[in-house]
Amino acid sequence: MHTTLSTDIAHTAARLVVQEGLEWGPAKRRALRQMGLPARTPLPDNDQVEAAVREFIRLSCADTQPRELRALRQLALVWMERMAVFRPYLGGSVWYGTATRSSDIYLHLFCDDPKSAEIALIDHHVDYEPRTVPGFHRRSVEALSLSCPSPVLHEMVGVHLLIHDLDELRGALRPDTQGRPPRADMAAVRRLLQEPMV
C-alpha cells in the first residue's frame, strides 16, 4: 500500500518517531489523529515508515544523529554487559540505526526464571517501573523500565528491559522482511561501535 495517503501517514509518523522518540506503532496511530483521519484508516507498513524515518533524518538532523545514535548504542552496551547473564539482545531503532536523542533503548532479555532479572535490579539498587508491553506476536510481556544518564548526551535516557522466556530466543532471531536480524547480541553491538561514524 504505497498510496499518497499512506505516504503522508508514513511521513507524519516519521516526524513523531524522530522528534518525540515514539515507536513506530504508536507514531502511526498518532499520525492518524493529527491528520484527522478515521481510526480504521489503513496504516503504512513498518518498512514504509522506516524509509520515511531515514529520509527525515537525512533531511533534518544528519549532522547530529550519528553521534546521538552512537551514544545510545554505547549506553545499550553498558546495560547489556550488566545484564549479560540474561542473554540480552538490542532491538528497535537503536539497533536499526534510526534512533535520535529522543529515542529509548529496548533490550530483550531471555530468562529461565522471568523474575530473575527483576531480582538482579533490586540487588543492585536500581529504581525501575514494572509494566506490561506488547511482545512478540503481540503477546504481552513484562518490561522493567528505568532512566539512566547518558554521559555523552548529558540527559536521561529511557531503558526498557523486556523479559522473555528462554525458549522464545530462537523465534526472536528470525530475519525481518528485509532479511536483517531483528535484534543484536553484544558482539554485534560492539562491532557497530568499532565502525567509524558516517
pTM: 0.89
Cβ 47 vs Cβ 178: under 8 Å: yes
pLDDT digits (tens, 9 = 90+) for 102-137: 999 999 999 988 899 999 999 989 999 999 987 776
DSSP 8-state secondary structure symbol assigned to residue 179: S
pLDDT digits (tens, 9 = 90+) for 52-106: 999 999 999 999 999 999 999 999 999 999 999 999 999 989 999 999 999 999 9
Q: How far apart are CA 57 and CA 131, in angstroms?
A: 30
Q: How far apart are CA 194 and CA 74, in angstroms?
A: 11
How is residue 61 written as a grid cell? 538532523
Q: How far apart are CA 133 and CA 139, in angstroms?
A: 8
Kindly report the CA angle at 18 between 183 and 43, in degrees rounded to 5?
75
Q: Which residues contact 115 (CB under 8 A, 6 or more apart)?
A: none
pLDDT digits (tens, 9 = 90+) for 22-48: 888 899 999 999 999 999 999 999 899
